């Protein structure tokens, strides 16, 4: 009997999701003769009656899809089934409705593409069913535990690096300090990687405790050595590791730490500083080749796991190969930048100021 599996994308979008959906549906079709159904807007689709879902016929899945950003299925990061946000502002447990929606689809397995939060929620939701569930990690933040890479991260670094490449000449032309704020809700993976690749002078991340006076001192020092401009990359969460504490009306970690930093550096150094907040630009691009490869490898492995009768696992990338691990060893944890790790050591070796050394 032909089997049918479901796939949904959940949480913030990123580049490489369409390539992942495609890989899953193609592997299911070519490898096992299975059908694949795409569920619309993550768990939201399961609340519709009939369920908002569509068959993913291989004829629709040509390579053009692998090149496109976003997710053609749609996604949500506001759909916690256990505390679903209602129109009146209240929260309601709608997990039973979603499980009922899954039953209506008569699936033999479900693949969820999400970050740590989404995978945890989906695991809990599926725990109340007998439907085998496999998770695929995606997030530009790259902070999912037990995988060195999540889909979307490579593209985000490429975009942040390109932004630094573009800020450098304009900063140099105007003798300015250019501050680039990049995403990373709780982790500095994008900032440190783009900082190295994009030739930043200063990189501030939540994993390394930094002080504003040390950042300002580096700007002054650069000026003394003849440099009239500087390039600073700051993770959106870097306010968490700022030592010295905000004073007066300063609210570090507010909407834009980049803007705050530029303002303070102008005051403290006399150099004109300008901030750019890169924001969702980091999520919406054509995926890099690396993200497409990861999407393909993860999609194939996820289907193979279902075919092998496995469940409650996440695929991952470790030491140059695809792995899979129990979801219980992933959820509730996150993989932040190792302050003693290779990237931090590399940054220091290149003379990049992390704001923690005098
Ligand atoms: O988790 C991915 C991410 O892009 C974070 O880097 C960022 O903090 C957050 O999502 C932004 O979420 P939203 O799209 O809801 O603004």
pLDDT tens-digit readout, 207-255:
999 999 999 999 999 999 999 999 999 999 999 888 876 555 555 545 5
Q: Burial, 96: exposed, middle or buried (Cβ in 10 Å; 0-12, 13-18, 19+)? A: exposed
pLDDT at 56: 98
Which of 277, 279, 185, 181 is CA-nearest to residue 232? 181
Same domain, 114 and 140: yes
Q: Is 143 a catalytic residue?
A: no
- Containing domain of residue 168, as a range? 158-283+339-349
Q: For 38, phi and psi rounded to 5 degrees? A: -95, 125
Same domain, 171 and 309: no
Confidence of residue 358 (pLDDT cuts 50, 70, 90): low
Same domain, 95 and 173: no
Q: How many residues does the chain have?
A: 358
Which atom of ligand 1 sits closest to the CA of residue 237? 8
Same domain, 120 and 233: no
Distance 12 CA to ligand 1 centre (A): 6
pLDDT at 244: 75
Mean pLDDT (whole number) for 260-279: 97
Beta strands 230-235; 313-318: pairing state: unpaired
Output the average pLDDT for the chain: 95
Sign of CA dihedral 44, 48, 51, 54: negative
Same domain, 235 and 173: yes
One of 141, 143, 291, 324 is an active-site residue; which one? 141
* 185 touches ligand 1 (CB under 6 Å): yes
Does residue 326 form part of some domain? no
Q: Which helix (H) or strand (E) holds 116?
A: helix 116-127
Does residue 332 form part of some domain? no
Q: SS3 string of 136-153?
A: EEECCCCCECCCCCCECH
The span from the first CA to the last CA of the chain, in angstroms, equals 68
* 120 touches ligand 1 (CB under 6 Å): no
Does residue 198 form part of some domain? yes
Does residue 105 form part of some domain? yes
Same domain, 197 and 254: yes
Which atom of ligand 1 sits closest to the CA of residue 77? 15
Percentage of the residues of the chain whose pLDDT score is greater than 70: 97
pLDDT at 246: 59
* 137 touches ligand 1 (CB under 6 Å): no
Reported pTM: 0.96
* 139 touches ligand 1 (CB under 6 Å): yes
Task: Render pLDDT for 50-107 as a digit per residue (tens, 0 to 9).
Answer: 999 999 999 989 999 999 999 999 999 988 999 999 999 999 999 999 999 999 999 9
Same domain, 120 and 175: no
CB 319 within 8 Å of CB 99: no
Which of 249, 292, 325, 278 is CA-nearest to residue 154? 292
pLDDT at 245: 63
The number of distinct structural domains making up the chain is: 2
Same domain, 146 and 291: yes
Distance 271 CA to ligand 1 centre (A): 31
Same domain, 293 and 222: no
Looking up residue 232, the CATH number of its domain turns out to be 3.40.50.460
pLDDT exceeds cutoff 60 at 307: yes
Same domain, 67 and 134: yes
Does residue 354 form part of some domain? no
Which atom of ligand 1 sits closest to the CA of residue 283? 4
pLDDT at 254: 52
Task: Render pLDDT for 124-143 as a digit per residue (tens, 0 to 9).
Answer: 999 989 999 999 999 999 99
């Amino acid at each position: 009997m032909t089997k049918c599996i479901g796939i949904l994308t959940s949480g913030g979008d990123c580049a490489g999701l369409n390539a992942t959906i495609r890989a899953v549906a193609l592997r299911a079709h070519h490898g096992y003769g299975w059908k694949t159904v795409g569920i619309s807007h993550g768990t939201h689709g399961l609340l519709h009656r009939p369920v908002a879902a569509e068959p993913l016929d291989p004829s629709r899945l040509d390579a053009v899809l692998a090149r496109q950003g976003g997710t053609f299925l749609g996604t949500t990061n506001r759909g916690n089934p256990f505390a679903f946000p209602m129109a009146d502002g209240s929260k309601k447990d709608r997990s039973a409705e979603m499980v009922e929606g899954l039953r209506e689809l008569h699936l033999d397995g479900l693949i969820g593409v999400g970050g740590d939060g989404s995978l945890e929620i989906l695991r809990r939701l599926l725990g109340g069913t007998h439907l085998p569930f496999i998770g695929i990690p995606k997030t530009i933040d790259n902070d999912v535990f037990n995988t060195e890479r999540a889909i979307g991260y490579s593209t985000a670094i490429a975009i942040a690096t390109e932004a630094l490449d573009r800020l450098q000449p304009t900063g140099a032309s105007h003798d300015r300090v250019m501050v680039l704020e990049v995403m990373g809700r709780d982790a500095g993976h994008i900032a440190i990687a783009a900082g190295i690749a994009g030739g930043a002078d200063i990189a501030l991340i939540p994993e390394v405790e930094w002080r504003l006076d040390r950042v300002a001192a580096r700007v002054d020092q650069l000026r003394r050595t003849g440099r009239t401009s500087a390039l600073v990359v700051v993770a959106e969460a870097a306010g968490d590791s700022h030592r010295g504490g905000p004073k007066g009306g300063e609210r570090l970690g507010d909407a834009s730490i980049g803007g705050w930093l530029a303002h303070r550096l102008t005051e403290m150094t006399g150099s004109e500083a300008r901030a750019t907040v890169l924001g969702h630009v980091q999520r919406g691009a054509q995926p890099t080749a690396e993200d497409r490869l990861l999407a393909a490898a993860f999609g194939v492995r996820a289907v193979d796991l279902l075919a092998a009768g496995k469940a409650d696992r996440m695929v991952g990338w470790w030491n140059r190969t695809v792995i899979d691990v129990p979801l219980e060893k992933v959820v509730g944890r996150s993989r932040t930048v190792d302050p003693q790790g290779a990237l931090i050591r590399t940054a220091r070796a290149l003379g990049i100021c992390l704001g923690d050394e005098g």
